[in-house]
Amino acid sequence: MSQRALFEVEPVAPSERRKPPVVKTFRPFEPNQVLLMPPSLDEWLPADHVARFVAELVDDVLDLSGVYAEYTEVRGYPPYDPRLMARLLVYRYTTGTRSSRAIERRCVDDVAFRYLAAGQAPDFRSIAKFRRRHLDALAGLFLQSLQLASQLGLVKLGRVALDGTKLRANASKHKAMSYQRLAGREAEVAAEVERLRALAGGMLADAEATDAAEDARFGADGREADLPAELARREVRLARMRAAKAALQAEAAERARAEAERRERDRQARRDDDSGGGGGIAVDEAAVAAAGERAAAEATVKPKAQRNFTDGDAHIMKNSDGAFIEAYNGQAVVDEAAQIIVAADVTTCASDCPSLSPMLDQAQANTGVAPAQAIVDAGYCSEENLAAAAGRLAERGTEVLIATGRLKHGEVAPAPRGRIPADATVKQRMARKLRTKPGRAAYARRKAIVEPVFGQIATCQDGKQLLLRGLAGARGEWLLTCAGHNLRKLFNHGAGIHRLAPVTAC
């Protein structure tokens, strides 16, 4: 069946469709040309490249005394210069190239990395060991980045926003086991170990008899029969399960002890108030300790409490996509003026509530100034935090706005009218404040302050996937990521190195 064209077109001759080639003059291109002068990496990198900013920052501004202090031995093969490694790591956490193997490759085929390393190419093991060895000193770069931002006037602390984000741990949730399942599997694995030991005992007896006969015939070589690999593997698994079970029990006991001690102190304080003591009676620490010990001895572990075998500090948390992952809770306080992170930390608690007061205290300690206003979402709402917000306003002058609930999309709460009821609770008072016109306007700024920061960290720095394991490693890596964010803000602000005074390590 023939196909008919939609439009009738006259055929065009080949000579009319295309012009004939001409003798064109091109720019010179000589791939095999030998350079008379050695090439300069400085000429290959643009003048406004972020790698130049990082290099000058590390060489002339940042304080690396904490890194140099770790080198106490003169002996040994000379290591890489700490400035070189610091250049690579700072640039790494600023641009998102976080893999040590990727850095090793880019030191060969990436001009920016070759410029930072001055033509050298450290292997990935050296890069990873340097980061692990100097993690505390490198995490201190966060405070140094905050000092530099303060020098340029980028930190105002008029209004700040606090929020948390889930950081994916370097562990699989399939490597976690609940306490209830641990208790059942421990008995099964212990029985398997005993069975394999009995089997191995018979095997070893036969092997020893054979070895004795062979030794008598050929001579002894001093070697013993090897333990079966299956038995060794089950013993290691049993030891890990028992360690995880003991860790869950210790965590439950510690939580029970802390809660009992807090209740005992509150009970003594109420008794003091009822007796008219006015707070003059000292706390009976012996009674507090005894209450804590009793609670710890009686503590029980929740059946669904989990422990990960790969990273014991990571916990199952729900991320913004609704998925349950092994994660840490990264906290950040962001200043409104230039989106500079003024406080950062990592916790193992999925809830944001316990982090409100510590994070605001850290922001004040890092900058020396209490924020005029702090905005947080409903994840921080609790009776304790609402009471702490009222006390912070009276003592430090910081107005804390805490959302008391979530509104549906498009829903607008009516503005309050009349006086505040005398019997209104702290939660009702906070909800009423947020429904006023100034409260709405202030809280509307929360998403514009802190949410873009987390988005930039996730996209530009790949900072929501942790590589280091353990709480200390996660905290150090998160602080390095926040330092990289602040340094990127300095670079985008157009901060020349000549405008920055050298900082001191904190």
Which among 346, 360, 342, 349 has a CA at the least distance from the CA of 449? 342
271 and 316 housed in the same domain = no
Q: Within a domain: residue 12? A: no
What is the residue range of 187's domain?
175-215+226-308
271 and 192 housed in the same domain = yes
Residue after which a domain boundary falls, among 308, 329, 345: 308
**Do residues 249 and 318 lie in contact, with contact meaning Cβ atoms separated by under 8 Å?**
no
Q: Within a domain: residue 487? A: yes
pLDDT of residue 366: 94
107 and 234 housed in the same domain = no
Instruction: Say whether pTM exceeds 0.85.
Output: no
Please state, in angstroms and rounded to a whole number, the distance separating the CA atoms of residues 133 and 130.
5
**Do residues 103 and 120 lie in contact, with contact meaning Cβ atoms separated by under 8 Å?**
no
Residue 475: how many CA atoms within 13 Å on its side-chain side? Answer: 13
The H or E element containing residue 263 is helix 229-274
Distances (CA, A) of 224 to 200, 212, 215, 220: 13, 11, 12, 10
Q: Within a domain: residue 13? A: no
Please state, in angstroms and rounded to a whole number, the distance separating the CA atoms of residues 97 and 89.
9
pLDDT of residue 222: 44
**For the chain, how many structural domains are there in total?**
3
Q: Within a domain: residue 486? A: yes
pLDDT of residue 408: 64
* String of DSSP letters for 321-350: TS-EEEEEEEEEEEETTT--EEEEEEES-S
291 and 367 housed in the same domain = no
The two three-digit tokens of residue 144, written as one number: 């140094």
Please state, in angstroms and rounded to a whole number, the distance separating the CA atoms of residues 363 and 370.
8
318 and 366 housed in the same domain = yes
Residue after which a domain boundary falls, among 308, 339, 371: 308
Do strands 324-335 and 315-318 pair parallel, antiparallel, or not at all (unpaired)? antiparallel
121 and 248 housed in the same domain = no
pLDDT of residue 223: 45
261 and 354 housed in the same domain = no
CATH number of residue 447's parent domain = 3.30.420
Which among 344, 336, 388, 280 has a CA at the least distance from the CA of 482? 344
303 and 316 housed in the same domain = no
Provide the H-helix boundaries in 403-468. 426-435, 437-443, 446-449, 451-460
pLDDT of residue 425: 85
Kindly give, in sequence order, each residue whose CB lies less than 8 Å from that of residue 155, ignoring residues fewer than 6 positions away: 146, 149, 335, 337, 338, 340, 342, 367
346 and 471 housed in the same domain = yes
SS3 401: strand
**Mean pLDDT per 10-residue interval, the chain, length 506 residues:** 60 66 86 81 87 92 92 89 94 88 92 92 94 93 93 92 93 79 70 67 60 55 52 73 78 83 81 63 80 84 80 87 90 95 94 93 94 93 91 90 77 67 83 88 92 92 89 94 94 76 72
Q: Within a domain: residue 455? A: yes
Which among 347, 238, 351, 251 has a CA at the least distance from the CA of 301? 251
Q: Within a domain: residue 24? A: no
Q: Within a domain: residue 411? A: yes
Residue 253 neighbours by CB distance under 10 Å: 19
* String of DSSP letters for 205-260: HHHHHHHHHHHHHH------PPPPHHHHHHHHHHHHHHHHHHHHHHHHHHHHHHHH
The amino acid occupying position 37 is: M
**Do residues 75 and 94 lie in contact, with contact meaning Cβ atoms separated by under 8 Å?**
no
* String of DSSP letters for 137-153: HHHTHHHHHHHHHHHTT
334 and 291 housed in the same domain = no
Give the CA radius of gyration of the chain: 32
346 and 485 housed in the same domain = yes
* String of DSSP letters for 279-328: T-SPP-HHHHHHHHHHHHHH----TT-EEESS-TT-EEEE-TTS-EEEEE
Please state, in angstroms and rounded to a whole number, the distance separating the CA atoms of residues 490 and 506.
19
Residue after which a domain boundary falls, among 308, 333, 366: 308
pLDDT of residue 263: 84
Q: Within a domain: residue 368? A: yes
pLDDT of residue 111: 92
pLDDT of residue 506: 58
388 and 251 housed in the same domain = no
